[in-house]
Amino acid sequence: MQIEIKDLSYVYGKKTPFEKAALHGVSLTVSEGDSVGIIGSTGSGKSTLIQHLNGLIKLQSGSLKVFDIDLSAKKPDYKTLRKKLGMLFQYPEYQLFADTVEADVKFGPVNFGFSKEDADKAAKEAIEMVGLDYDEVKDRSPLELSGGQKRRAAIAGILACRPEILVLDEPTAGLDPAGKKDMLDLIRSLKGSFLKSVITVSHNMDEIAEYCDRVILLHDGVLLSDATPTELFYGEDVEKYGLSLPHVVKIVKLLRDKGVVIPEVLNEKDLVKELKLYLERGRKNA
């Protein structure tokens, strides 16, 4: 078990007039190899939940264990935790600060006590992993890069620490379609090396349906569902919670309403395949 959350609750501005509950009794586990998606409308508690995972928010009630680090302990080992659990915030390109891309990517490894050689090696490897040309970008200022490149450099800064879990908050926000596709392909390609599991927070249901094995639905700080995308999108009425259905799912549901029954698919490719099969069968019968 990599992450074990039990009965986690959190209240902002405790004992002030602005008191606001953000999480209420959330329990879940993440095992090695999982690709977890977290969904929920704005204010559902997604950000609060993921900020707990590497100790950026102090535990108020419940228990939280990441790897073997108990976050309810008096002085949890934050350093090891943050090294092993990489977190990429929304618009991560805004955190770039060093003179050169290489120095920026090395910021994490150096903080986590990598030796100079190890940090150099990790930086080079990470820059190449995100699809940037190491020799071309390493001495350039991160500010000179294009939007998509900046985001890649920011991801490299996390990967260089060799995390085992990667948490991504809206990794495709603000990118154009081509940039989005590249980013999702990149994230998919990362899993397998040192990286064991990925947790993605997203508003884009199409992406969640296509790229995650498991989806967690939060609403008003409560965990409402923890299921496979098929179970969630075909079983639950997510629109009730201010979310949209993935287009593919919506099309299948519309067809079923009209008496056309095709399997519960989650991506465009499978939908086309199933529709072809269905229409060909119809042709033969006719």
- Cβ closer to other proteins: 34 or 206? 206
Cα separations in angstroms, 132 against 124, 139, 169, 176, 267:
10, 13, 21, 18, 28
Least Cβ distance, residue 112 to other proteins (angstroms)? 5
* Residue 2 interacts with other proteins (CB under 8 A): yes or no: no
Distances (CA, A) of 96 to 142, 150, 276: 7, 8, 47
Q: Give residues 191-210 in contact with other proteins (rule: CB under 8 A).
A: 203-206
How far apart are alpha carbons 175 and 27 in whole angstroms?
A: 33
Spatial CB neighbours of 218, under 8 Å, sequence gap ≥ 6: 26, 38, 39, 40, 44, 45, 46, 49, 224
Give the residue with the Cβ less far from other proteins, 114 or 187. 114
Q: How far is Cα 202 from Cα 213, in angstroms, rounded to an integer?
A: 14
Binding flag, residue 185, other proteins (CB under 8 A): no
Residue 284: Cβ-neighbour burial (10 angstroms; 0-12, 13-18, 19+): exposed
Contact pattern for other proteins over residues 11 through 40, marking x by CB under 8 A: -xx--x-x---x------------------
Query: Residue for token digits 């602005």?
Result: 18
Kindly state whether residue 107 participates in binding other proteins, applying the rule CB under 8 A. yes
Task: Report how many residues bind other proteins under the rule CB under 8 A.
Answer: 66
Q: How far is Cα 6 from Cα 30, in angstroms, rounded to an integer? A: 12
Per CB under 8 A, the list member of 173, 186, 190, 227 interacting with other proteins is 173
**Nearest distance, CB of residue 135 and other proteins, angstroms:** 21
For residue 260, CA distances in Å to 206, 251, 254 come to 22, 11, 9
Both structure tokens of 117? 């050689």
Q: Which of 174, 189, 193, 213 binds other proteins (CB under 8 A)?
A: 174
- Under DSSP, the state recorded for 159 is H
Residue 263 touching other proteins (CB under 8 A): no
Using CB under 8 A, which of the segments 27-35, 68-76, 227-235, 266-274 binds other proteins?
266-274
Residues that bind other proteins (CB under 8 A): 12-13, 16, 18, 22, 41-42, 51, 54, 56, 79, 82-83, 86-87, 89, 92, 94-98, 107-108, 111-112, 143, 146-148, 157-158, 161, 173-174, 176-181, 203-206, 242-244, 247-248, 250-251, 254-255, 257-260, 268, 271-272, 275-276, 278-279, 282
